[in-house]
Amino acid sequence: MFNKKKKGMSEIIIALLMILLVIATIAAILFWNKSVFSKLTSDSKSCSEIDFTIGDFCYEVIGERISLKFDVRNELEDKEIKGFSVFAEDKYGNIQALSNLADESIAGFESKSLSTEVFSNVDLAIVRISPHLEVEGEDILCDNKDTIIKWDTIKPC
Per-residue model confidence as pLDDT tens digits over 68-84 = 999 999 998 888 999 99
Q: What is the C-alpha to C-alpha distance for residues 79 and 44, in angstroms, rounded to an integer? A: 14
* CATH number for the domain harbouring residue 125: 2.60.40.2550
H helices of 49-109, where?
Answer: none
* Residue 93: DSSP 8-state: S
Predicted local distance difference test score (pLDDT) of residue 6: 59
Predicted local distance difference test score (pLDDT) of residue 31: 77
List C-alpha distances in Å: 148 to 76, 96, 127, 138.
20, 14, 6, 25
Per-residue model confidence as pLDDT tens digits over 102-154 = 788 999 899 999 988 877 667 889 999 999 888 878 888 888 889 999 999 99
Q: What's the whole-model pTM score?
A: 0.67
pLDDT surpasses 60 at 4: no
Whether 13 maps to a domain, the answer reads no
Nearest CA among 77, 75, 101 for reference residue 87: 101
Q: Are 114 and 62 in contact (CB under 8 A)?
A: no
Which sign, positive or negative, has the C-alpha torsion 100, 105, 106, 108? Answer: positive
Whether 41 maps to a domain, the answer reads no
Whether 8 maps to a domain, the answer reads no
The residue-averaged pLDDT of 31-53 equals 68
Whether 148 maps to a domain, the answer reads yes
Whether 73 maps to a domain, the answer reads yes
Residue 130, strand partner residues: 85
Spatial neighbors of 14 by CB under 8 A, at least 6 apart, are none
Range(s) of the domain holding residue 130: 49-156
How many domains, in total, are found in the chain?
1
Whether 122 maps to a domain, the answer reads yes
Least confident of 3-7, 46-50, 97-101: 3-7
Q: Distance between the two ends of the chain, CA-based, in angstroms?
A: 96
Least confident of 52-61, 82-91, 113-122: 113-122
Whether 15 maps to a domain, the answer reads no
Whether 42 maps to a domain, the answer reads no
